[in-house]
Amino acid sequence: MSGSTERVPTGTERPATRVVVVPGGPLLVEGPVEVVLPDGTVRTSERPVVALCACRRSRRYPFCDTSHRRRSRPRRE
């Protein structure tokens, strides 16, 4: 990814947030982050890089606990 910035409608500039998609794994997001779940629950992390679960197998959802490494995906027929 490039080190570009995006324009915010208010006219201020801020660096773009980097999100890295890991094939078969989590989404890596530059932190700190605040995640709002569908039920309105807010989860926060102050880490510099946060792994967000993309497979929904994590016991710490929405954060990744590497469950995608231990379990295979069910086969689709």
Per the structure, the complete domain to which residue 40 belongs is given by 16-70
Question: What is the per-residue pLDDT across 43-58, written as a single tens digit (0 to 9) for each?
Answer: 999 999 999 999 988 9
Number of domains into which the chain is organized:
1
**pLDDT value for 51:** 95
Given a cut of 70, whether residue 11 has pLDDT beyond it is: no
Is the residue at 41 inside a domain? yes
Residue 70 phi/psi, 5° resolution? -90, -25
For residue 26, count CB atoms less than 10 angstroms from its CB and return exposed for 0-12, middle for 13-18, buried for 19 or more. buried
Is the residue at 26 inside a domain? yes
pLDDT-derived band at 18, boundaries 50, 70, 90: very high
pLDDT-derived band at 1, boundaries 50, 70, 90: very low
Given a cut of 80, whether residue 10 has pLDDT beyond it is: no
Distance CA 18, CA 15 (A): 9
Rg (CA), the chain: 15
